[in-house]
Amino acid sequence: TDGPTDSGSMAIPCVELSNKMKIPALGLGTWQAPPGKVEEVVKFAIDAGYRHFDCAYFYQNENEIGNAVQQKIKEGAVKREDLFIVTKLWNTFHEKSLVKVGFQKSLAALQLDYLDLYLMHFPMGFKSNLHIFFDPRGFKMLCSAAQRSLPLLSTTFLCLQVECHPYLTQEKLLKYCKSKGIAVTAYSPLGSPNRPWAKPGEPTLLDDPKIKDIAARHHKSPAQVLIRFLVQRDIIVIPKSDKPHRVEENMKVFDFELSKKEMDVILSFNRNWRAVPVVQYVPYHPSYPFVLFL
């Protein structure tokens, strides 16, 4: 991690991407944020010190996030250049002619002139039989069109966002990304405890006795331990919560450190278990990235 952001009540360290841009190591995830509550949560998060917000066209709440950001900018609480806004190209916009369309829809909803990072949400095109890597010419055209306002926009693989937590430690993938200079962001860092498709008997990280023991030793919550575990592995983390006290609590992970023994214990939890396998959407797509045993 690099130096901290100017983040109000608490400084959040940054991770430097391969193009020298700096992304806060902790951000606010917005997937499954309830409609009507997202705007207030984002405003609270900005006041609390968050500067990194992870969004997506698919989440259908970019307009609320945009409202919150614009209000805080107008109040003088934050400047646009202080924020790191990430959103994602949805699967229906993978064709070359549609990449810019998807980009502009998100930009308009977020009420922004530029994005700090634009990701491909999933490596699977809908409404077409595109290859897993879609058509990069669409992104190149987007870069060309946005060059004046986005001098740092690049089609280089800067960051990979994947599910990562103690039950899915992603060690091989992390090693590969590090060798290629690709930063990694962890979604569902708490194991997505509120996922609507959860089945009885599936593991719950927040209730794991060993996690609870480690948390008690550090006078922290289990969620803080899970976030800290990823931060110490140089992984960018985007926990989501619509509860202000949890949003604030999740930030307080930079004032303690897990020991090597504690890190090793948590790493031993790996069982290659996915909380979000995307199976409910497209298990038979030719570019579906996960191995399934159906």
Catalytic residue among 50, 57, 59, 288: 59
Sign for the CA dihedral angle at 205, 206, 208, 213 comes to positive
Q: pLDDT by residue for the chain (294 residues), tens digit each? A: 665 554 444 589 999 999 999 999 999 999 877 778 999 999 999 999 999 999 999 889 999 999 999 999 999 999 999 999 999 998 888 888 888 989 999 999 999 999 999 998 887 776 654 444 445 555 555 554 443 334 444 456 889 999 999 999 999 999 999 999 999 999 999 998 888 788 888 889 999 999 999 999 999 999 999 999 999 999 999 999 999 999 999 999 999 999 999 999 999 999 999 888 764 455 555 555 655 443
Length reported for the chain: 294
pTM of the model as a whole: 0.85
Domain boundaries along the sequence of the chain: 14-267
> Does 121 belong to an annotated binding site?
yes
Domain 14-267 coded CATH 3.20.20.100? yes
Burial 236-264 (b: 16+ CB within 10 A, else e): bbbbbbbeeeebbbbbebbeeebeeebbe
59 noted as active-site residue:
yes
For 232, the token pair is 């110490």
Q: Which residues of 182-205 are buried (b: 16+ CB within 10 A; e: fewer)?
A: bbbbbbbbbbbeeeeeeeeeeeeb
